[in-house]
Every structure is written in C-alpha cells, then in structure tokens.
Amino acid sequence: MYRRLLINIYQVRNGLIHTRLPSTKCKERESFAPVIWAPCTARPLGTSSISFSENKESSTSLSEDKEKRPEENEAKEEVNTDGQKSTEMNECTEISNATLASQLETETVDKPEDSKQVEKTKSGKESLLELLGAMKVEVTTVRKIRPSKTPRISVSADQEPMESAHSMFQHATAEGSQQHGTLNPALVAAVSAAASTLPNRHQAESELLKQLRKHEAVPDTQRRADGQNIGHIIADMKVGRRTNGRSNARPTSQIRFDDDDGKGYTQDRGITGELDAVRRRKSPFTSKRLNIFTAGMEQDTLSDLGLTLWDIDLANQIVQATNQTPRNGFEEMIQWTKDGKLWQYPINNEAGLEEEASVPFHEHVFLEKHLDESFPRQGPVRHFMELVITGLAKNHQLTVQQKKEHIDWFRDYFRQKDDVLKEAEA
C-alpha cells in the first residue's frame, strides 16, 4: 500500500493538473491531521503494532506528499500557463487523486475503530487523554492553517514523523512544568465541561488543562526549529523545480508520438513555445541597431519636391501588384465612388453643386432687385418681367449668375427695342 501510495504521489507530482486543487488540498489536510497525529498519542499507550505501522506508513508517505506539494504547485502553474491541457493526463491525475482520497478516507475510517479497540483495553483516564490529544491537534492545526497558509504548515507536518512520537511526548511532559502557555478560554471551558462528567472532577480538570498546555507548547518548540527547516524545504523546492522541467517534457513528447491527429504537435509547440517565450526576450527583431540615425531627426524641407512622376509611378506599381477586384457589390460601389461615377453616400441632393453652396436662397427667390431703373416702372414690359422673375424664382436648374444673365438679356433686348416700344406707347 505504501508503494502504491507513493506511486500515486509520483504520478500526481509529475503531471498534476489540479483544476480544483485548493479544495482538495484542504480536504486532504483535514483528513491528514488525525492520521498524522494519531501515532503520537497512540504509541506511548502501546497500541497494536499493526495499526501503528499502518499509520506511520501513511503519515510518512503523506509527509512526503507535503514535501512535494510546492513542486506540485509549480507543475500546476507551468501546465496552466501552457493553456493546453492534455485530457489524458488530466484523467490520470484525477484517478490518482481519487485513489489517494479514497485511501485516505479508508484510513480515517479505520482510525476510530483502532482507537476504540485501544479504549477497550486501556483505562478510562488514558483514553480520555488520548481523545483530548486528538481534539487538541485539531485545534492547533486549525489555528495554524487559518492565519497564514505558509510553508509552516508543511513544516509542522513535516517534522512530526522525524521527531518520534515518543520523544515528543517527553518534550511535552518536560515542558509541562513551565506552564507559561495561556490557553484559549473556550478550551478551558470545554475542559471543565468535560471534567464535570467525570467522577473526580477537579483532578480530571487540572490534568486535562496540563495536557492541553503540553500540546500548546509543542508547536512552540517546532516553531523554533522552523528557521533551519525552512531552509531545507526551500532547497527541496529548488531541486524539485529543476527535475520538474525535465520530467514534464518527457510525457508530452510521448503523447506526441501516440497522437494521430497532430494534437501532440500543437502541445509540444505549446511547451516549446513557452520555452521560446522565455528565450525570446531577445528576439532578433529587438536586437541592437546600427546607430546611424538619431531618432528625433527633423527632415529638411528642401527634400520635399511634391508629387513627381516617380511617385505616381510608384503608386501605379503598387496598384498593379495588389488585387483591386471587388469581392462584392458594395466594394464595387466603393470603387465607383472613388472614380466619381456614383452618387456619394450619405445621399446629398446638392452633390455637385458646390459653387452654389455659399449662395443663400433669397438670392435665388427674390429677384425684384434686379428689375431696377433700367426697366419701366409699370406697363406691359414691367408686367412681363415680373412674370419672368417669378419663373426664374421657381427654377432650380439655374444658378443665380445664370438667372442674372437671363434678366440682363431681357434688359438688353428691351433696350434695343426701345423705339418700337415707344412707338407702341407701351
């Protein structure tokens, strides 16, 4: 079982892609805690050797697991940045996770049974102590997890198997006399409540509290040892990262050969692409420059020659080299618009009448001012001319200039026919 677990862990470590890693992690940790701590309490009480060894196995393997956790995280990060996850691998890790979890579950289920067996053989007081020990552990782990999810957790977990449970118990008894730890009032209340159920109430309570303080003291000693241990762990992490890079590359290359439809290639590209991205920080396109020109150079106005034959030819060549055929009706219309063959959008009914745009409408409509003194004030000619300007006022085809010319023509005409008009006494 130990081996199986280890294999599982290795699998997890090699290609872990946790999509829901945090949650599973928490679960694992919760389930680990009693498993890890159980031997500590069980051993001095002389639990059955089978249960103990089993627990030890699991605890050591799990501690290894925790050692590897940073690496796993790295692996996860790498794979995530890749963007492309191989589904196969995902499945594999999920399976391994599942098996892990199930094993852990079975163990945790086993645990109470063991302790019950122990309980039967041992005296009530000792069993109570054991129970309290288990309870205490939960409290401490909770406390330690909550404030900061630092490597410290893994350190504490890490150290436990190293430090034999026996010596730990001795530590606890030795430091029990110090009594400097202040206990959580809630805990004290709980202890007194528990003690009240026992016949010898005061003795039980004091013993319980003492036991609690012992456990409180244990993390302190561990905390002291943290400094050196963190160094170890960091060293481990570094090693893990290096090996990780290599061990990661291998499975993907295997996948590439297994794959038929070329997905392996893309994945390989993804990983190598990432490596490239690291390397590409000096892409050839951002290499050093010749340093001939200065960036903020201003151009001499002298070299501006305007549009020459050469420029026209260049434009022509570019047009020749490119595809100018329209792909749909609208593009053809764009082409026509550019050629000036099409009425321009947005539709403007004054298009092409640019020279008239500055002429106000009254110039078009009120043309009486042009019928000045050169025309008679009244009579048939005047009447005729009024009709003419009414017609001109309604004519939208002519420009103002043309209208003026029209009137001028009549002015000239009537001037020429002046004698005829006089004869007729018009």
Partner 1 sequence: MASSCSQALRRHVCKSCTILQMHVSFFFIFIFFSEEIVIPKKKTWSKEAVLQALASTVSRDPTASDYRLQDDPYLTPKTSSEFKLFSLSQESGKNAAKYFINTYPKYFQKDYAQPHIPCLMPETLEAQIEEVSEAALIERIHMRKVEAAVDLYDQLQQAGTPVSLDVTNQLLDLICFYGDSDPAQENVPKQRSEETEDVQDEPQTKKGRASKASDQLKAAWKENNNAERIFALLSEPNTHSYSALIRGMVKYCAYSKAFSTYTDLLNNRLKADVNTFNALITAAPEVKEKYNEKWELIVDLLKEMAEQKVKPNLLTLNAVLKALRHCGTLGKSQAFPVISEMKALSIDPSLASYNHLLNIFYKPGAPFLGQTGILQEVMNEVSGKSFTPQDPDDGICLLLQRCLLTKDIEQAYRVHELLGVGENWRLLGKDLQQNIYYARFFSLLCMMENIDVMLKWYRDLVPSVYYPSSNIMRDLLQALDTDNRLDLIPQIWKDIKQLGHANRQKLVEDLLTLMAREKQNQEVQESFAECALDIKKMYDTGDRGKVIMSWTATSLSDIISVLLAAQRRQDAWEILKLFKTHNRVPSEELLNKFLMCIMESGEVNHAVELVQISAGFCLPETPKLIQRVQQEFQLSEQQKNILSDLEIQTFNSD
The residues of the shown chain that bind partner 1, judged by CB under 8 A, are 261-262, 265-266, 269, 283-295, 297-300, 302-303, 305, 308-310, 313-314, 317-318, 320-334, 337-341, 344-346, 351-353
Is residue 148 helix, strand or coil?
coil
C-alpha to C-alpha distance for 367 and 303, rounded to whole angstroms: 54
Residue bearing tokens 């699991």:
58
Backbone angles phi, psi at 96, to 5 degrees: -65, -40
Closer residue to partner 1 in complex, CB, 339/425: 339
Closer residue to partner 1 in complex, CB, 300/419: 300
DSSP designation for 286: G
Closer residue to partner 1 in complex, CB, 91/332: 332
CA distances from 370 to 85, 136, 384, 409 (A): 87, 113, 14, 12
Least separation in angstroms between residue 286's CB and partner 1 is 7
Least separation in angstroms between residue 329's CB and partner 1 is 7
Closer residue to partner 1 in complex, CB, 94/259: 259
Residues sharing a CB contact under 8 Å with residue 333, sequence separation 6 or more, in sequence order: 342
DSSP designation for 349: T
Least separation in angstroms between residue 398's CB and partner 1 is 13
Closer residue to partner 1 in complex, CB, 105/332: 332
Half-sphere exposure of 386 (CA within 13 A, CB side): 8
Counted residue by residue, the chain has a size of 426
Least separation in angstroms between residue 300's CB and partner 1 is 5
Closer residue to partner 1 in complex, CB, 179/344: 344
Least separation in angstroms between residue 345's CB and partner 1 is 4
Backbone angles phi, psi at 303, to 5 degrees: -80, 0
Burial category of 14 from C-beta neighbours within 10 Å (exposed 0-12, middle 13-18, buried 19 and up): buried
C-alpha to C-alpha distance for 27 and 75, rounded to whole angstroms: 20
C-alpha to C-alpha distance for 41 and 62, rounded to whole angstroms: 18
Least separation in angstroms between residue 34's CB and partner 1 is 53
C-alpha to C-alpha distance for 205 and 286, rounded to whole angstroms: 75
Closer residue to partner 1 in complex, CB, 278/292: 292
Least separation in angstroms between residue 301's CB and partner 1 is 10
* Radius of gyration over every alpha carbon of the chain, rounded to an integer in angstroms: 48
